Chains A and B, each alone.
Chain A
Amino acid sequence: MATTALTGRPRPLLRWKQPSVIPGFGLTLGFALTYLSLIVLIPLVALILRPVDMGFAGFWHAVSAPRVLASLKISFGAALLAAIINAFFGLIVAWVLVRYRFPMKRFVDALVDLPFALPTAVAGIALTGIYAPNGWIGRFFEPLGIKLAFTPLGIVIALIFISLPFVVRTIQPVLQDFDAEFEDAAASLGATRWQTFLMVILPSIAPALLTGFALAFARAVGEYGSVIFIAGNMPMVSEVAPLLIVTKLEQYDYAGASAIAIVMLCFSFLILLAVNRLQRHLSRHRERVA
């Protein structure tokens, strides 16, 4: 391309911003940061400052209780499982929606957004109805001795439901935008279809897949509304961390609630940060290859 010379410049290490001919950096970043601060950062600081008066010992006591640890394990474990399942099926769904034609495709495409539009509480109630022992699906598992609703499995089901669109909708635009010439090139060089997918297509959509996975995971970790209906909420077994936050609030223990919230927030933040760095690394790598 004609402009490759512009992007191929060396990166000085000490500069915090690369020079660019494109205008609007100050304006857009400035607005983004202001808005981010007002809506997200300042309120979160209020949250983080809350447990200060309980001291570190109190903070530690609040978050290291066996029940809190168990609930964190359940929240993160179920969210991880749900995100993995969604990454796999979400990729297939996105692929099918972008690449293939089949009857009712538009309808299927629209359905993907459903978990966003349906209030989480409604989703929880509907899913519980379906997977309860007397529900449409639950009744087939009941004779096998498998309980879906009111067990940790129920939590995973609810989390798959609420976080599926994140994976599909992150991959879809990138896949749509993918330049088919690369595929032709790979094929003309003798690559099989599977090789083309693994070596050409997958690396190109990997950043999006990773983002989708991370977003699905992050969204699932904190879910409350749908989970409480289907989880059974048994302490140590199927009690999620957000429920413990609510429990603490019911006792007017704002500091304790904030303490658990902060732990969850830190974990999610670190996971998201790691994924975003990896994603940037991947796309930068690709940029250089291209």
Chain B
Amino acid sequence: MIRRISPATLNVRSEPAWLRILLIAVSVSFIVVMLVLPLISVFTEALAKGFAPYLATIADSDALAAIRLTLLVAVIAVPLNLVFGLCAAWAVAKFDFRGKSLLITLIDLPFSVSPVISGLIYVLLFGARGWLGPVLDEYGIKIIFTVTGLVLATIFVTFPFIARELIPLMLEQGSEEEEAAISLGAGGLQTFLRVTLPNVAWGLLYGVLLCNARAMGEFGAVSVVSGHIRGKTNTVPLHVEILYNEYDFVGAFAVASLLALLALVTLVCKSLLEWKFGDRLAGGAKH
């Protein structure tokens, strides 16, 4: 077959210039109004009194303890959800079984649970008057108001992120390639690593980054299971609340801006990975 000349191909794959510009304008203005303005307001408030107070707030020992705790929680929660996400997506996308919609819906469920409730359920379960609380107490194990409680609540809130990112992608891709690999004699793990993983690498990366961002930024659920003790069970978002409630608006927004910066660091990570592994990943994702 004779290949078409490339300008023509480009033409059928894209829209007239005016429409392109219009769509870009619409998205950029939507993003600016909905997302950039809040971001700018966070930084304006944070730097309202200049750089020195900004740095002083962040270097404060309680703030540093909050940052350490937040990182610790994310480091435990994200890998667990990663393993779960891969397992769930594999089971859902590569096999046909009854109750699949139900399973997907149950995975989605934590999204729809109000953060207030996601904290509450662990209190109902592990609290001093909860269902399992008294039993665990006999063994001297405390969950609520400790780091464990924070980790649990964070896992719950970020539970679906990675799975949800992978499932539609893997469903869309179908399982022909894996079946081909298996029929050519590849093992299960090998197929996963060599065929599936490169295909979903971008989705997986998105999922991990989102999961991580949300894990660090979660406020509602964590607020219920934290004892709000400075330097001990205060995560970054809780520390923001404390500062805000002390009328230290500059401090509150300074610490909050760290989490906003996290979104920008995410950008750097993504760009770096794209740049370094661009060929391999793009090859996998775009055939």
Q: Which residues of A are at the interface with B, using a C-beta cutoff of 8 A?
A: 1-4, 6-7, 11, 16-18, 20-25, 27-29, 31-33, 35-36, 39-44, 46-47, 49-50, 89, 92-93, 95-97, 99-100, 102, 106-123, 125-127, 129-130, 136-137, 160-161, 164-166, 169-170, 172-174, 176-177, 179-180, 183-184, 187-188, 193, 196, 204, 207-208, 211, 214-215, 218-219, 221-225, 241-242, 245-246, 249, 254, 257-258, 261, 264-265, 268-269, 271-273, 276-277, 279-280, 283, 287
* Complex contact A137–B37 (CB within 8 A): yes
CB-nearest residue of chain B to A20: B95
Q: B209 contacts which chain A residues (CB < 8 A)?
A: 113
Q: Is B277 in contact with chain A by the CB < 8 A criterion? A: no
* Complex contact A224–B220 (CB within 8 A): yes
Given known pairs A39-B156, A224-B220, the reply for A116 and B214 (CB within 8 Å) is yes
* Complex contact B206–A22 (CB within 8 A): no
Given known pairs A184-B12, A225-B115, the reply for A130 and B176 (CB within 8 Å) is no
* Complex contact A193–B180 (CB within 8 A): no
Q: Among A35, A99, A164, A170, which residue has its beta carbon within 8 angstroms of that of B35?
A: A164
- Most chain B CB within a 10 A radius of its CB, from A24, A43, A95, A99: A43
Task: List which B168-226 residues lie within 8 A (CB) of chain A.
Answer: 168-169, 171-176, 178-180, 182-183, 187-188, 191-192, 202-203, 206, 209-210, 213-214, 216-220
* Complex contact B112–A118 (CB within 8 A): no
Given known pairs A16-B97, A100-B23, A221-B114, the reply for A47 and B38 (CB within 8 Å) is no
Residues 1-30 of B, flagged 1 when their CB comes within 8 A of A and 0 if not, give 000100001001111100010011011101
* Complex contact B109–A269 (CB within 8 A): yes
* Complex contact B169–A18 (CB within 8 A): no
Q: Among A20, A221, A283, which residue has its beta carbon within 8 angstroms of that of B112?
A: A221
Given known pairs A16-B99, A169-B210, the reply for A46 and B124 (CB within 8 Å) is yes
Q: Among A6, A22, A41, A117, which residue has its beta carbon within 8 angstroms of that of B191?
A: A22
Q: A107 contacts which chain B residues (CB < 8 A)?
A: 267
- What is the distance, in angstroms, from B133's C-beta to the closest C-beta of chain A? 10
Interface pairs (12), CB distance under 8 Å: A7-B176, A17-B95, A28-B87, A42-B125, A92-B30, A119-B241, A136-B41, A184-B12, A215-B108, A258-B120, A264-B114, A280-B101
Q: How far is the CA of A39 from the CA of B122 in the complex (A)?
A: 9
Q: B31 contacts which chain A residues (CB < 8 A)?
A: 93, 108, 111-112
CB-nearest residue of chain B to A105: B24
Q: Is B91 in contact with chain A by the CB < 8 A criterion? A: yes
Q: Among A111, A218, A271, which residue has its beta carbon within 8 angstroms of that of B263?
A: A111
* Complex contact B219–A3 (CB within 8 A): no
Q: How far is the CA of A277 from the CA of B9 in the complex (A)?
A: 36
* Complex contact A110–B263 (CB within 8 A): yes
Residues 114-128 of B, flagged 1 when their CB comes within 8 A of A and 0 if not, give 111100111011000
* Complex contact B120–A261 (CB within 8 A): yes
Q: B110 contacts which chain A residues (CB < 8 A)?
A: 40
Q: A112 contacts which chain B residues (CB < 8 A)?
A: 31, 35
- What is the distance, in angstroms, from A252's C-beta to the closest C-beta of chain B? 11
- What is the distance, in angstroms, from A143's C-beta to the closest C-beta of chain B? 19
* Complex contact B259–A276 (CB within 8 A): no
Given known pairs A2-B180, A173-B202, the reply for A32 and B91 (CB within 8 Å) is yes
Task: List which B141-190 residues lie within 8 A (CB) of chain A.
Answer: 152, 155-156, 159, 163-165, 168-169, 171-176, 178-180, 182-183, 187-188
